[in-house]
Amino acid sequence: MDFSLSKSQKGIQKAAKEFAAGEFDKDLAATLDKEGRFPEKIWKKAAQLGLVGVHLGGDCANNLMLTDHVLVAQALCAKDSGFGTAVLNAGRGAECLFLAGNEKIKDRFLYPVLGGSKICALAFQEAGCDPDFLDIRATAVQEEETLVLNGEKIYVLNADNADFFIVLCRIFSVEEPKAKISMVIVEKDFKGILISPKGEKLGTRMSPLADITFSDVMVPVSNIVGNPGNGLSIASKFLSIDRISLAAMAVGIAKGALDRSLVHTKMRKQFNTVIAAFEVTQHKLADMAIKIRKAELLTFEAAWHIDQGNFEPHHSAMALSTAAKIAVDVADEAVQLLGGYGYMTEYEVERFYRDAKAIEISHPSGPWLKNIVAKKVLGKIKKT
Amino acid sequence: MEILKFSENHLAFEKRLKIFLDQEVVPHIEQWEKEKIIPKTIWKKMGEQGFLCPGLPTEYGSIGGDFLHSVIVTKQLARTNHNGLAAFLHSDIVVPYIESYGSVKQREKYLPGCVTGDIITAVAMTEPDAGSDLASMTTTAVENGSEVVINGAKTFISNGVNCDLLVLAARDPEEKDPHKAVSLYLIEDGTPGFKKGNPLEKMGWKSQDTAELFFIDCRIPKANRLGRKGQGFKMLMAKLQQERLICSVSAVYFSENMVEWTTRFLKTKRNKGEITINSQATRFALVEMATEVKISKVFMEKLVQEHMAGKNIIVETSMGKYFSTDLVKRTALRCLELIGDFGSLEKCPVARTWRDSRVTSIFAGTNEVMKEIIARFTLS
């Protein structure tokens, strides 16, 4: 088993690292985080360099290169948790279009996202509905070539900045009275869309959240991704990819926190020694490194499965539930290692901590991920 | 399970304080968090109502209470879910230095104002290069005839901007032994050469005016030295037991509040797919947190009781400090996980509690230093 990166993988990793080193300004990050603003210029540059959706560079659904995306996500988030997550989340959902969109949809929506001229936002979640969206209530009634969409979606990331939403809804029509859960693209300028910002966030503040109400929104039938009724099958594949993408961001954040801890502990002197000389400090740093490696390997393996065409959900669930928690642990320890400075926004690690925590507690929840893994591990159980 | 016995007097005090905080403090917290400071007028209002320095002798104008009043103040402030109004810092950490080591003149001059809130205090020990290694501090105090000249800088000083009176730790540059070099001095706001920085930008405690302080040929009368020369370290060590204890008190109450809030919140979520009170994993998580908090509270109350009886409990208060602050951080992390998406919004109160609690394992002596202290006393 060869665990080393290929030449092309090393190249992508290097490109991402160099981009981040050149563009991710520490002070700008602090400002945008404080103001809750999206880094539009930096996102465009990243996209134009091909760093957004690098896994979608192939020409068909069998050609995902998720392992490349994992490397990019880690590199960007290690340099800056805010910029990294914001830039990558601007393309969150584009995978659905790659997996199931026809050429027209790809031309109008996917390529502009990859190119940095459009931002997409996912509108799947609804209040009180299952994390696997089996019981969503948003409805689109088909009248000839138009769908009339009504429904409420919650916790939509980047709703304000998005140019279009990828919405899961049930399509009814006179010919097909049995509602089929489908995926449709709703463009920002359609009438009847009400965006309600959810206010200040704890972390990943450069990507604001909002609830969206769709009231009699007219959506052309040509905006259906794939076919009516494909919604959940596309979503299920997408969610496996999405979990890995989030896991990769978390791994990157953890790496960035460790990097900063190493720099600080090797430089900071107390009691006539650099604090890196203390045994407990060394064990902490070792623990951080071990945790990161665990998360990194699980994430990479999960991405590798996707690249082989295996979308089984438990790989990505293991990766995300591990990586998200580890990022929080490692960033937390980084704050402690930096002492009083760790608590100051100027020293960055508290922001890495907040960004890691935001990823961990946002949908999908930890317990849900564990349920996915348990299902795989247990198989079918006879309750009685 | 009751260890601490609160009298009618204590309960009446608590009732008054709760009403005061609900009216005068709670409605303004969001604003103060944005402004990074609380108005001085709030300190005055607290003082007017007898909520500051409740344990001082009545001759200074205080209500003549005891440490249980301090526990009550800390408990009710925890309920407000903010840390801008650092009453326990003033009443239970800084003022005790003046009370114990001040001359008659110093006590008469400053303590009444500390009670009324006209004099807000702060203590300055930490420096940019001297945190855990306090003995390596470089701020100098040169005693020259009837005056003292101070040069240096302090950082991470709570109440730094608002303080009217500062207890400063500074060293005699001529004294080689760092443990004999430090003395404590009282410096009034407005003294030429004493400059305050702007409030520092922090992860939490946003309404607290934590700041850097600068001393450039700052001259004070020698009469402003607190206690005997070279006794600074001894004085600091003697007072740290109470400082660490009050940190435990605060941490335990914040933890308790978070578990209560999270439990109530989860009871309102009834839909499948969300984490609700009906899921077994959730119930176990809440029960585990409640258990840890209860055990920590019993320990804290026992320490309060022993402390009030005048016992030397340096080891136990160090244990309590690190244990309860690890607990409040751990509880915040776990509650946020249970709350889920809503926890990622600042409008969820646990978000602020989490950000605020993060500093508690760092200040008042890091938890690593606490473990060193315990080791030194118990493992030699």
Asked if B105 contacts B32 with a C-beta cutoff of 8 angstroms, the reply is no
Q: Averaged over A64-80, what is the pLDDT?
A: 96
The lowest-confidence range among A19-28, A360-369, B15-24 is A360-369
A280 — contact with chain B (CB < 8 Å)? Answer: yes
From chain A, the residues in CB contact with B126 under 8 A are 340
pLDDT tens digits along B46-62: 999 999 999 999 999 99
Say yes or no for a CB contact (<8 Å) between B156 and A340: yes
User: pTM of the full predicted structure?
Assistant: 0.97
Return the H-helix or E-strand segment holding B302. helix B280-308
Q: What is the pLDDT of residue B275?
A: 67
| Residue whose C-alpha is closest to residue A331's, from A247, A249, A257 | A257
Give the type of residue at A196: S
Asked if residues A184 and A224 have their Cβ atoms less than 8 Å apart, the reply is yes
Q: Which among B130, B271, B345 is the nearest to A199, CB-wise?
A: B345
Which residue is it, tokens 């309860």?
B324
For residue A192, the one-letter residue type is: G
Q: Which of B132, B271, B341 sits opposite A270 (nearest CB)?
A: B132
The pLDDT confidence band at residue A314, using thresholds 50, 70 and 90, is very high
Interface of B with A in 25-84 (CB under 8 A): none
Which residue of chain A is at minimal alpha-carbon distance from B280?
A: A367
When pLDDT is averaged across residues A342-355 and rounded to a whole number, the result is: 98
Radius of gyration (C-alpha) of chain A in whole angstroms: 21
User: For the residues B218-245, what does the mean pLDDT come to?
Assistant: 96
Q: Which two tokens stand for residue B324?
A: 């309860």
pLDDT tens, position by position, A38-53: 999 999 999 999 999 8
Average pLDDT for A63-68: 87
Class of residue A32 by CB neighbours under 10 A (exposed 0-12, middle 13-18, buried 19+): buried
**In the structure encoding, which two tokens stand for residue A320, read together?**
């995300």
Strands (E), chain A: 120-123, 139-143, 146-157, 164-173, 180-187, 193-197, 209-220, 224-225, 269-270, 273-274
Nearest to B193 by CA among B220, B226, B163: B220
Neighbours of B330 (CB within 10 A): 15
CA angle B336, B340, B344 (to 5 degrees): 70
E-strand stretches of B207-304 = 211-221, 225-226
Condensed to tens digits (0 to 9), the pLDDT of residues A184-211 reads 999 999 999 999 999 999 999 999 999 9
The answer to whether residues A113 and A196 touch, using CB atoms and an 8 Å cutoff, is no
pLDDT at residue number A296: 98
Query: How many C-beta neighbours within 10 Å does residue B129 have?
Result: 14
Could you tell me which residues are beta bridge partners of residue A270? A273
Mean pLDDT of A245-263: 98
Question: Do residues A201 and A358 lie in contact, with contact meaning Cβ atoms separated by under 8 Å?
Answer: yes
Range 336-365 of B in CB contact (< 8 A) with A: 336-337, 339-341, 343-348, 351, 354-355, 358-359, 361-363
Nearest residue on chain A to B349, judged by CA atoms? A202
Distance in angstroms (rounded) separating the CA atoms of residues B201 and B211:
9
Q: Report the distance separating Cα B196 and Cα B162, nearest Å.
A: 9
| pLDDT for residue A18 | 98
**Cα end-to-end distance, chain A, whole Å:** 43
Tokens of B53: 């320095």
- Three-state DSSP state, B314: helix
User: Long-range CB contacts (< 8 A, 24+ apart) of A54-59?
Assistant: A54/A12, A55/A95, A55/A241, A56/A94, A56/A95, A56/A98, A56/A110, A56/A114
Q: How many helices (H) and strands (E) does chain A have?
A: 14, 10
Contact B345 A344 (CB under 8 A): no
Instruction: Report d(CA B204, CA B330) in Å as an integer.
Output: 16
Residue B271 has pLDDT above 70, yes or no: no
Q: CB neighbours of A97 closer than 8 A, spacing ≥ 6?
A: A105, A106, A109, A110, A113, A120, A166, A185, A225
How large a percentage of chain A has pLDDT more than 90? 89
DSSP state of B54: T
How distant is the Cα of B17 from the closest Cα of chain A, in angstroms?
A: 30
Q: Is A60 exposed, middle or buried (0-12, 13-18, 19+ CB in 10 A)?
A: exposed
User: What average pLDDT score do residues A269-292 get?
Assistant: 97
Beta bridge pairs of residue A110 = none
Residues A260 and B173: their CA atoms lie apart, in Å, by 34
- Provide the 3-class DSSP secondary structure of residue B118: coil
Instruction: Supply the angle between the helices A231-267 and A66-79 in degrees, to the nearest 10.
Output: 40
Indicate if the pLDDT at residue A136 is higher than 70: yes
For A84-104, what is the mean pLDDT? 95
d(CA A321, CA A367): 9
- Tell me, what's the pLDDT at A62? 61
Confidence of residue B273 (pLDDT cuts 50, 70, 90): low
pLDDT at residue A355 greater than cutoff 60: yes
* B345–A202 CB contact, under 8 Å: yes
pLDDT score of A363 more than 90: no
Distance from CA of A152 to the nearest CA of B (A): 16
pLDDT category of residue A130 using cuts at 50, 70 and 90 = confident
Q: What is the mean pLDDT of residues A248-270?
A: 98
Annotate B200-216 with b (16+ C-beta within 10 A) or e (fewer). Answer: bebbbbbbbbbbbbbbe
pLDDT for the residue A88:
95
Q: Taking a C-beta distance cutoff of 8 angstroms, is the pair A119, A39 a contact? A: no
pLDDT interval class at B274 (50, 70, 90): low
Contact present, B171 and B135 (Cβ < 8 Å): no
The pLDDT assigned to B325 comes to: 98
pLDDT score for B277: 86
Q: CA B274 to CA A367: how far, in whole Å?
A: 10
- Check CB contact under 8 Å for B203 and A346: no
d(CA A118, CA A163): 6
Per-residue pLDDT reduced to its tens digit, B160-212: 999 999 999 999 999 999 989 999 999 999 999 999 999 999 999 999 999 99
Average pLDDT across chain B, whole number:
96
Quote the pLDDT of residue B241. Answer: 95
Contacts with B268 from chain A: Cβ below 8 Å:
none
Coil, helix or strand at residue B249: helix
Please give the pLDDT value at position B75: 98
Give yes or no for a contact between A358 and A324, defined as CB atoms under 8 angstroms apart: no
| Alpha carbons B29 and B236: distance in angstroms, whole number | 32
Rama region for A354: left / alpha / beta (φ>0; ψ in -120 to 50; rest): alpha
Average model confidence (pLDDT) for chain A? 95
What is the reported pLDDT for A259? 98
Q: How confident is the model at residue B140 (pLDDT cuts 50, 70, 90)?
A: very high
**Would you tell me how many other CB atoms lie within 10 Å of the CB of residue B59?**
11
Q: Which of A131, A340, A370 sits opposite B362 (nearest CB)?
A: A340
- What is the rounded distance in angstroms from the CA atom of residue A63 to the CA atom of residue A249? 22
What is the per-residue pLDDT for A59? 62
Arithmetic mean of pLDDT, A289-305: 97
Given an 8 Å threshold on Cβ–Cβ distance, is B345 in contact with A201?
A: yes
Ramachandran region, residue B169 (left: φ > 0; alpha: ψ -120 to 50; beta: rest)? beta
